[in-house]
Each structure stands twice: as structure tokens, then as C-alpha cells.
Amino acid sequence: MSTQTLAPSAPVASRSGLLRTVTRRRRTLFPAAALVLFAVFAWAAANRAALFGARERSDACTPLRPACDAAFVDLMDADAAVQYFQYALMLLPLLVGAFVGAPLIAQELERGTHRLMLTQSLSPTRWLTAQFALPAAVVTTTAAGCSLAAAWVRAAARQTTAQNAWGRWEPSVYSTFGIVPVASALLALAIGILVGTLVRRTLPAMGITLVVCAGLGALVTWVRPHLLPLRTWVGHGGYQLKGEVWMLRDGVVRKDGTWLPYDQCHAPGGCRTGTVFEEYHSADQFWPMQGVESALLLACAAAAVAATYAVLRRRAF
């Protein structure tokens, strides 16, 4: 790549010149993001159409006829297709980190093209800020659009199939619904940029970012139940909670007052005490939990960005 190709039309040191230069260098992000959003919403529209079509055929058929069996199978297949759609959206942070964040700085350092920018009276801090700002805006818009598409499909699934499979607490729904997917994508972007700055090689940075983001995703899923205090219900009968709840632990209260989870009731009749307990997150905790988790993810993203700035200040480029 020649220096003439990289030279901006306005002084790079100026704010407008820097913005134009970075926008031109990262212009492929815009069609890529548009293509992703188009594919996601097209897939969502196809899933919704399949769900409503199968539900309509199932409701119109007469029981005990072969057509009813076929309609029921179609409804199950449509429901499974929506689940695959949700699982695919769960991969968005991994793809953002590996294919957007990791190459962003690693390619510049690997090819040496960053030196031209840093000779234009630019500090490494301003250079990194400009490099990060545009992809962050594109990633935020794309992740928000994917979250809306997931909510759109979920609404159709809840109208046509068993609602228990589409509660907001389900991992495939929670991770792709609301504000959490936006925060997850920004964290993955920040991690990719940090790894690329440290490794300085594109392909190794992409691989390491995939592993780190996958590990963080598993850690967040494990920590999630503990983000807010559990609600507790003790009484007779059990399973009488209202609304969408996330049941985490339930069992019986023994005569000595100790609590015994159902999976530990090995003795015959050991769970027939009449009094049960349930520990859960209630429906009104959903959005506060999303807020807490998103705040933690964004704090980790800010820490990753700060670490990247520190690396740039201490390394000679």
C-alpha cells in the first residue's frame, strides 16, 4: 500500500481531517454492518412467517388426521429454527471481537502503516481514539439492531409455541435480548483491540480473542445468577409463583428446619414434608439485572481500553 493512498486530503492532525481519514480507512465496516443487519432481519422475518404459518395450519386441522401430525411437526421445526436463530445471535460478540476488534490495530502494527499516521503531529492516544470511535459506533448500532430482531422473533414464538421455552431468563433469550448484547459486543471489541495491540499479529490476535471472549462469556453466564439477591418463597404446594421467574433452587423444608433440594432426596418419602421452598429471580428483577450486567461489561470494556492506551504510551512504535 503506497503512502499516496494513505495520505489524507486534509491535515490529519485536525479533528475533521482525522475523522475523514479514519472513516475512509474503515469504510468497509458500513456495508458489512448493513449486510449483517439485512441478513438478521431477513432471517427473523422468515422465522416469523414460518411460525405463524405452522400455527395457522395446526389450529385449522381436524384432530387425528395425518395433516394435523404434519402441521405439528412443522410447528416444532419452526420453533427449532428460531432457537437456532437465537444461538447464532449469541455468537455476535465473538465475531465482533475476532473480526473487527483484533485486526483493527494488529493490522496497522503488522504492516507498519501506523507510522505514517503518527508522523502527522498525532499522539498515539489521539490515533487510538480515532481508531476505536468509529468501529464502536458501528458495533453499537449493529448489536442494537440484532437485539431488536431477537425481540421481534421472540414475540412471535411466544404467540405460537410453548411460552416456557421463550421466557426472558432463558440463556439464549437473555443474552440476545435487551441491552446486554450491546454491552457484550462493545466488550468483545475492546478485548480484540487490546489483544491486537499486545500481539501485533492479525491471525494470532484473532484466535486469542476468540478464546478470551468465549471464556468471558462462560464466566458471565456463571456469575449472572448472583448479580441480584435471590427471592425466597416458603409454603405448601410449590410452583405457585406468578410471572416469568428464574427458578434457581427448590426443595423441601424438613421437620428440623433444614432445607433439602429435590435432587438430594434419595431416601423414600424423604421429600414428603408438606412444606417446600423456592429460591428464584422474579420478573421485576429482569431489567435491573440487565442493567447491572451491562454496567459490569462496560466497566470491563473501559478497563480494556485503558490498558490499550497504557500499552501504546509505553511501547515505542
User: In this predicted model, what pLDDT tens digit does every residue of 175-197 receive, in sequence order?
Assistant: 998 999 999 999 999 999 999 99
Residue at 227: amino acid letter: L
Q: Where do we find the cell 458500513?
A: 30
C-alpha 271/C-alpha 308 separation (Å) is: 55
Residue-wise pLDDT for 36-95, tens only, equals 999 999 999 999 998 888 888 777 776 666 667 777 888 888 888 888 999 999 999 999
The model's pTM: 0.84
Percentage of residues of the chain with pLDDT beyond 90: 39
Dist. CA 238–CA 241, nearest whole Å: 8
Instruction: Please return the burial class of 6, using the count of CB atoms within 10 Å of its CB with bins 0-12, 13-18 and 19+.
Output: middle
pLDDT of 27 strictly over 80: no
Q: Which three cell numbers stand for residue 262?
A: 429435590
Sequence spans of domains, the chain: 3-227+286-314, 231-284
Tens digit of pLDDT for each residue in 182-238?
A: 999 999 999 999 999 998 888 999 999 999 999 999 999 999 999 999 998 888 876
pLDDT at 11 over 60: no
**H/E stretch holding 173:** helix 171-174
The grid cell for 98 is 475476532
For residue 103, give the amino acid letter. Answer: P
Reported confidence tier of residue 9, pLDDT bands at 50, 70, 90: very low
Find out whether 105 and 197 touch, Cβ atoms under 8 Å.
yes
